[in-house]
Amino acid sequence: MELAGQPRLSWMSSSTCSDAACVQVAVAGHDVFVRDGKDPNGAVLSFTQAEWAALLSGAKLGEFDFS
């Protein structure tokens, strides 16, 4: 997939992903792109690197554990 104004993206999945049912991430410049590996032509979310770092930090700290 190519996004307007971005070079061809190189998508990565977790090394623990055994099939396409994983989130895929690509980095281009100061932006991080995220998509559903099951639907590579579907929607793509875009984050700044600071936003992505905050999301990962929150996940590691359990901020999204709704139990």
CB 26 within 8 A of CB 11: yes
| pTM reported for the whole predicted model | 0.78
Instruction: Give the pLDDT mean for 4-14.
Output: 78
Question: DSSP of the chain, one letter per residue?
Answer: ---TTSPPP--B--TT--SS-SEEEEEETTEEEEEETT-TTS-EEEEEHHHHHHHHHHHHTTTT---
| Residue 15: pLDDT band with limits 50, 70, 90 | confident
pLDDT tens, position by position, 18-62: 776 789 999 999 999 999 988 988 999 999 999 999 999 999 999
| Residue 6: pLDDT band with limits 50, 70, 90 | low
CB 31 within 8 A of CB 48: yes
